[in-house]
Each structure stands twice: as C-alpha cells, then as structure tokens.
Amino acid sequence: MKFTATSFAMATAVAALGTAAFAQDLPAPVKARQGQFNILAINLGILGDMARGKAPYDAEAAQGAADTIVAVSMIHEAPLFPEGTSEMDIDGTRAKAEIWDDWDGFAEKWSGLGQAAASLQQVAATGQEALGPAVGQLGGACKACHDTYRAPE
C-alpha cells in the first residue's frame, strides 16, 4: 500500500480527532469541534513550515494539507456549537458566548476561512513561493475569528 501525503493527512486527522475526543470529559460537540481545530492546526503547521523554509517544500504534502483544510472548512458548524457550550458554561473550551450572540458574524468568519482555504488549495502544489501569501491569508481568517470568538488561554 502506498502511503501518500493525503493518506498521512487523513490518518493525522483521525488521530487528532480521536485524541481530542478522549482527552476530556466534554460534550461530544465540543470534542468534535476541538478535533476539527486540531486538524486545521496540524495542516496549517505543515504548510507554514514549508512556506517559511523550516521544512522542505513537497508539492504532494502541501496539496494534501491544503485539501484537508478545505475539507474541514466545509463542515457545517452549527451542530458543533450548540448553545450552552461556551467557556462561560463549561470548562475545557475557549468558545466565547459572543458566538451565540452573533451567530451570523461567526458564520461569516467561518465562511472567510473557507474562502481562504480554497485560495490556498489552488496554489499549494505550485511552489514554496506561492505558499507564504496564501498561508498568511488563511492565518488572517483564523485570527479574525479568534479575536472575536475565542477566549485567551
């Protein structure tokens, strides 16, 4: 069996989701969303390291990571964010209550992540020089949401 970058990314995603799901005694939707964000972080790290030259550029691995980020960005968020799962309601999450006070704004930020992910997906396999700006755009989309809807550590 050939173990490709895509299969590695998927295996990593499953492992991250499984780790998050069993790490704490949290409601299933919170475990799932934390696993989702772990998958995003792992793949963004792969791409960021390549963009900064901390890891050798590998077109197949870059495309696999970008494809995974796009797939995760397509997840419908509502079931992962039921009311009563903010950091004010339960320990072990950093989701701010502002998510539910401004669901439309939160959904808009999530859509922005999807748009940035799609742009990254288009250039991931074209070379290291294309990664930097696209990874920066994706990071900006993450930050835009975190600044408003995620509590600090």
Q: What token pair was written down for 111?
A: 């859509």
142 is in an annotated binding site: yes
HEC assignment per residue over the chain: CCCCHHHHHHHHHHHHHHHHHHHCCCCHHHHHHHHHHHHHHHHHHHHHHHHHCCCCCCHHHHHHHHHHHHHHHCCCCHHHCCCCCCCCCCCCCCECCHHHHCHHHHHHHHHHHHHHHHHHHHHHHHCHHHHHHHHHHHHHHHHHHHHHHECCC
Q: What token pair was written down for 7?
A: 């299969």
76 is in an annotated binding site: no
145 is in an annotated binding site: yes
**Residues flagged as binding site for heme c:** 142, 145-146
**Residues flagged as binding site:** 142, 145-146
